[in-house]
Amino acid sequence: MLIANKHGSVAKVIERVCGKLGYAQVQTLATAEEVITALDSLRFNLILMDDNLGPQDMAGMIESMKRAPGAADAQIILTTTSLSAATAKRAIAAGVDDILLKPFSPEALMLKLSAAGQPRRQTVSSSDRAWA
């Protein structure tokens, strides 16, 4: 699993949730450049991506990730603070599998990650706004 998030404290919470769910191999990267470089040489089945990695826009970053060999079969869950219908459509068209609104609770994240192994696309979840 790959966590693509530039906020260290958020990434740590995500790592703890992943550990509780039994994810043994989790890699955390903080920049778009690091993510694309990793996807050229490593394979991931699940990517939890923050929408503000930069410098590309969110849709461009998702498209770049989907073209990389390491994300060919990966499910991508996008985390975002602002979700309009237009943003959701762009993310889904670019290849995102699911969207999780921030702030999210560890429990909401657990539900998303637990469901990630099941075939699904184009769902949007709201959070309970209780970020730990």
- pLDDT tens figures, 13-29: 899 888 888 888 899 99
Residue 50: CATH number of its domain: 3.40.50.2300
**Domain residues for 28?**
2-125
Pairing of the two strands 46-50 and 123-125 = unpaired
Residue 132 domain-assigned (yes or no): no
Instruction: State the DSSP string of 15-51.
Output: HHHHHHTT----EEE-SHHHHHHHHHH---SEEEEET
Per-residue pLDDT tens digits for 85-123: 888 899 999 999 999 998 888 889 989 988 886 443 333
Residue 106 lies in a domain: yes
| Number of domains comprising the chain | 1
Q: Please report the pLDDT score of residue 86 as a whole number.
A: 87
Q: With a cut of 50, say whether residue 82 has pLDDT above it.
A: yes
Query: Is 131 inside a domain boundary?
Result: no
For residue 58, is it within any domain? yes
pTM of the model: 0.83
